[in-house]
Amino acid sequence: MGPSDFILHSSLCICLAFSGLTYIATQCMLPSMIDKELVAASTEPLILSLLDRGESYGYELIQEVKQLSGDKIRWTDGMLYPVLHRMEDNGWIKSRWVEMENGRKRKYYSIKKDVQSALMAKRAQGTLISGVLGGLWKEQNV
C-alpha cells in the first residue's frame, strides 16, 4: 500500500493514511448520486459525445449513461427528451423515426456533421474543468 490508499466497499470508503509506521483508518461516504446541477451542466456534452459514437434512441442513451457512470447518473425521460428537442432545435443533432419489427416506431438521434466544432468546444471545456479540479484536489490531498 502507498502513503494514501482507498478501499472501496459499496458506498463506503475506508481511507488509509500512512502515519509513521501505522495506518490510520477513517471512513468517508462516497456520493451515491451526483448533484442534479452537475448532471444538468454535463447533459449536452454527454449526449454529443455519445452520439458522436453513432446514432441512438432516448432509452438507449439513458441506459448507456447509467452504465458508464456506474449507476451514479440516472437520467429520466422527463429530463432527457426536452434536452434532445432543444439540441435538435439548435441544429446540433437530427432525428429520424424508424419502424421496428413489432410495428412500433422509435426515434433515433444522431449528431450533425457540422457540429464537430461544438463537440470539440464542449470537450475542451470539460477537460479544462476536470484538470483544474483534479489539480486543486490533488494539492489538498498532499
Residue 38's pLDDT is 76
pTM exceeding 0.75: no
Q: Determine the Cα–Cα distance for residues 80 and 137; give it in Å rounded to an integer.
A: 31
Distances (CA, A) of 43 to 38, 53, 87, 132, 141: 9, 16, 11, 20, 29
User: Each residue of 12-62: pLDDT tens digit?
Assistant: 333 333 333 333 333 333 445 567 777 777 898 899 989 999 999 999 999
Q: Which residues in 108-125 are b (16+ Cβ under 10 Å) and which e?
A: bbebeeebeebbeebeee
The reported pLDDT for the residue numbered 139 is 78
Q: Say whether 103 sits in a helix, a strand or coil.
A: coil
Q: Classify domain 36-124 at the CATH class level.
A: mainly alpha
- Cell readout for 133 is 479540479
**Predicted local confidence at residue 50, as pLDDT:** 94
Domain ranges of the chain: 4-30, 36-124
For the segment 79-106, what is each residue's pLDDT rounded down to a tens digit?
999 999 999 999 999 999 999 999 999 9
In a 3-state reduction of DSSP, which class is residue 112? Answer: coil
pLDDT of residue 28: 37
